Amino acid sequence: GESVGLHLPTLSVQEGDNSIINCAYSNSASDYFIWYKQESGKGPQFIIDIRSNMDKRQGQRVTVLLNKTVKHLSLQIAATQPGDSAVYFCAEIPSNFGNEKLTFGTGTRLTIIP
């Protein structure tokens, strides 16, 4: 079936370094992608989104890259801080009319080492 998956379940990065979190998706009809950050005991928090007509989008210290050819999504976090430690989920919404359901991947746990 269709799924959104992540390459690595855990990632440790030295504080101040850049981090890259990867995500593979299999639904070619996906049109909208969102990265969420989930800290312990909290709900997912929106970080950044990108639509399928773009290949790059930047926010504050974050950049999302979309490669539709290989169905790959990545989240880059620049100059990581201790507060960036969390589980990061990529999620997709297909453009199929009537089936615009947000589907989450398993998540990657990012740990920032002081």
Binding to other proteins, residues 72-101 (CB under 8 A): 89, 91, 93, 95, 100-101
Choice from 2, 11, 22, 31 touching other proteins (CB under 8 A): 31
Q: How far is the CB of 112 from other proteins (least distance, A)?
A: 20
Interface size with other proteins, residues (CB under 8 A): 24
Closest approach, Cβ 66 to other proteins, in A, equals 14
Q: For residue 26, what is the DSSP state?
A: -
Contact 92, 5 (CB under 8 A): no
Q: Give the E-state strand segments of 10-107 in sequence order.
A: 10-14, 19-25, 30-38, 45-51, 56-58, 62-67, 72-77, 86-94, 103-104
Query: Nearest approach, Cβ of 18 to other proteins (angstroms)?
Result: 24
Gyration radius from the chain CA atoms: 14
Binders of other proteins in range 38-77 (CB under 8 A): 41-46, 49, 51
Of 67 and 106, nearer to other proteins (C-beta) is: 106
- Residue whose tokens read 């970080």: 47
